[in-house]
A and B are shown apart, each in its own frame.
Chain A
Amino acid sequence: MTPAELTSTNGARAAAGELISAEGLTKWYGSRAAVDGLALAARAGEIVGLLGPNGAGKTTTLSMLSGVIAPDAGTVKIGGFVVASDPIVARRKLGLVPQSIALYPTLTALENLHFFGQIQGLGARDAATCASKLLATVGLSDRANDIVAGFSGGMKRRLNLACGMIHSPAVLLLDEPTVGVDPQSRGRIFEVVETAARAGAAVIYSTHYMEEVERLCSRVILIDHGHVVAGGTSAELIALAGSAPRIDVLTRDELKPGWCDGIGRAVVFADGARFGASLELAALDQAPEVIRRAERAGGEVLEVHLHRPNLQDAFLKLTGHALRDRQ
Chain B
Amino acid sequence: MLRAIFLTLGKEFRLIARDRVGLFMLLVAPIAVIAAAGFSLANVYGGQTSSTVKSGIAFFDDDRGVVGRAIHDVLADSKSVELIVATDRAYAEDLVHQRKLAVLAVIVPARATEALRRGENPKLLVYTDPVKYLQSARIELMLAQLLRSINAAAAGDARARFATSSAELRDQLEQAQAAADRARAQVEKLSAGSEAARAKMAAHLRSEVNDAMADARAFVSAALNAAMKRLEGQLDHEDAQQRAKVDELKNYFNQLGQAQNQFRDWLAQLQALAGRHASDIPPPPAIPEPPSDLLTFNPPPIDLSTYRAQFERAINLPPPHIELPPMPAIPAIQIPEISRAGLADASIPGALGYTEVNLGGKEVGFVGGFNAFDLQVPGFAVTFLLVGMLMGVSLALIDERDWGTLERLRSVAAPISATLAGKLFARFVVGFIQMVVLFAAGWVLFGISLGRAPAALLLPAASIAFAGAAFGLIVAGIARTRDAVLPVGAIVIMTMAAIGGCWWPIDFEPTWMRQVALVLPTTWVMQAFNDLMIRRLPAASALVPSGIDFGFGMLYLIAGVAIARRRFAA
Query: Which chain A residues have a beta carbon within 8 Å of chain B's beta carbons?
Result: 63, 66-70, 87-89, 91-92, 94, 96, 98, 100-107, 111, 115-116, 118-121, 147, 163-164
Establish whether residues A91 and B412, one from each chain, have CB atoms under 8 Å apart when the complex forms: yes
Given known pairs A107-B11, A118-B7, A119-B4, the reply for A100 and B404 (CB within 8 Å) is yes
Establish whether residues B413 and A96, one from each chain, have CB atoms under 8 Å apart when the complex forms: no
Say yes or no: is B18 at the interface (Cβ < 8 Å to chain A). yes
Establish whether residues B411 and A119, one from each chain, have CB atoms under 8 Å apart when the complex forms: no
Which residue on A lies nearest to B419, using beta carbons? A119
List the count of A-B residue pairs having beta carbons below 8 Å apart: 73
Interface centre among B18, B19, B413 (most CB of A within 10 A): B413
Chain A residues near B415 (CB, 8 Å)? 87-88
Establish whether residues B411 and A67, one from each chain, have CB atoms under 8 Å apart when the complex forms: yes
Establish whether residues B408 and A104, one from each chain, have CB atoms under 8 Å apart when the complex forms: no
Given known pairs A106-B18, A106-B19, A115-B7, the reply for A68 and B403 (CB within 8 Å) is no
How far is the CB of A110 from the nearest CB of chain B, in Å?
11
Given known pairs A102-B403, A106-B19, A107-B18, the reply for A92 and B11 (CB within 8 Å) is no
Partner of A98, one of B10, B11, B407, B414: B407
Within the assembled complex, what's the spacing in Å between the Cα atoms of A143 and B119? 91
Say yes or no: is B429 at the interface (Cβ < 8 Å to chain A). no
Contact with A along B2-34 (1 / 0, CB 8 A): 011001101100110011000000000000000
Interface centre among B4, B15, B404 (most CB of A within 10 A): B404
Which residue on B lies nearest to A118, using beta carbons? B7
Partner of B15, one of A69, A70, A87, A106: A106
Establish whether residues A163 and B7, one from each chain, have CB atoms under 8 Å apart when the complex forms: no
How far is the CB of B56 from the nearest CB of chain A, in Å?
52
Establish whether residues A163 and B19, one from each chain, have CB atoms under 8 Å apart when the complex forms: no
Given known pairs A68-B407, A106-B19, the reply for A119 and B14 (CB within 8 Å) is no
Chain B residues near A121 (CB, 8 Å)? 413
Given known pairs A102-B403, A106-B18, the reply for A96 and B570 (CB within 8 Å) is no
Say yes or no: is B409 at the interface (Cβ < 8 Å to chain A). yes
Query: Which chain B residues have a beta carbon within 8 Å of chain A's beta carbons?
Result: 3-4, 7-8, 10-11, 14-15, 18-19, 403-405, 407-415, 570
Establish whether residues A116 and B14, one from each chain, have CB atoms under 8 Å apart when the complex forms: no
Establish whether residues A164 and B15, one from each chain, have CB atoms under 8 Å apart when the complex forms: no
List 16 extra interface pairs beyond A67-B410, A100-B407, CB under 8 A.
A87-B415, A88-B415, A91-B412, A91-B413, A98-B407, A98-B408, A101-B404, A102-B403, A102-B405, A103-B404, A104-B15, A106-B18, A107-B11, A120-B413, A147-B18, A163-B408
- For the complex, would chain B's binding face be called helix, strand, loop or mixed by DSSP majority? helix
Partner of A68, one of B405, B411, B413, B414: B411
12 CB < 8 A contacts A-B: A66-B410, A68-B407, A69-B570, A91-B413, A98-B404, A100-B404, A102-B405, A107-B11, A118-B7, A119-B8, A119-B409, A120-B413
Within the assembled complex, what's the spacing in Å between the Cα atoms of A326 and B450? 61
Chain B residues near A68 (CB, 8 Å)? 407, 410-411
Chain B residues near A63 (CB, 8 Å)? 407
Chain B residues near A116 (CB, 8 Å)? 408, 412
Which residue on A lies nearest to B415, using beta carbons? A88
Chain A residues near B4 (CB, 8 Å)? 119
Within the assembled complex, what's the spacing in Å between the Cα atoms of A104 and B396? 11
How far is the CB of B523 from the nearest CB of chain A, in Å?
36
Within the assembled complex, what's the spacing in Å between the Cα atoms of A279 and B315? 196
Chain A residues near B11 (CB, 8 Å)? 104, 107, 111, 115
Establish whether residues B14 and A102, one from each chain, have CB atoms under 8 Å apart when the complex forms: no
Chain A residues near B18 (CB, 8 Å)? 106-107, 147
How far is the CB of B414 from the nearest CB of chain A, in Å?
5
Partner of B413, one of A104, A115, A119, A163: A119
Which residue on A lies nearest to B402, using beta carbons? A100
Establish whether residues A105 and B403, one from each chain, have CB atoms under 8 Å apart when the complex forms: yes
Establish whether residues B413 and A102, one from each chain, have CB atoms under 8 Å apart when the complex forms: no
Within the assembled complex, what's the spacing in Å between the Cα atoms of A101 and B7? 21
Establish whether residues A66 and B411, one from each chain, have CB atoms under 8 Å apart when the complex forms: yes
Chain B residues near A69 (CB, 8 Å)? 570
Establish whether residues A107 and B411, one from each chain, have CB atoms under 8 Å apart when the complex forms: no
Chain B residues near A94 (CB, 8 Å)? 411
Establish whether residues B403 and A101, one from each chain, have CB atoms under 8 Å apart when the complex forms: yes
Within the assembled complex, what's the spacing in Å between the Cα atoms of A64 and B473? 26
How far is the CB of B340 from the nearest CB of chain A, in Å?
89
Chain A residues near B8 (CB, 8 Å)? 119
Interface centre among A68, A89, A101, A105 (most CB of B within 10 A): A68
Within the assembled complex, what's the spacing in Å between the Cα atoms of A105 and B399? 10
Chain B residues near A103 (CB, 8 Å)? 403-405
Interface centre among A91, A104, A106, A119 (most CB of B within 10 A): A119
Establish whether residues A111 and B413, one from each chain, have CB atoms under 8 Å apart when the complex forms: no
Establish whether residues A107 and B15, one from each chain, have CB atoms under 8 Å apart when the complex forms: yes
Establish whether residues A107 and B14, one from each chain, have CB atoms under 8 Å apart when the complex forms: yes
Given known pairs A101-B403, A102-B405, A103-B404, the reply for A96 and B7 (CB within 8 Å) is no
Within the assembled complex, what's the spacing in Å between the Cα atoms of A143 and B4? 26
How far is the CB of A90 from the nearest CB of chain B, in Å?
8
Which residue on B lies nearest to A148, using beta carbons? B403
Interface centre among B14, B407, B410, B411 (most CB of A within 10 A): B411
Which residue on A lies nearest to B20, using beta carbons? A106
How far is the CB of B10 from the nearest CB of chain A, in Å?
8
How far is the CB of A274 from the nearest CB of chain B, in Å?
43
Chain A residues near B404 (CB, 8 Å)? 98, 100-103
Establish whether residues A88 and B411, one from each chain, have CB atoms under 8 Å apart when the complex forms: no
Within the assembled complex, what's the spacing in Å between the Cα atoms of A92 and B168? 105
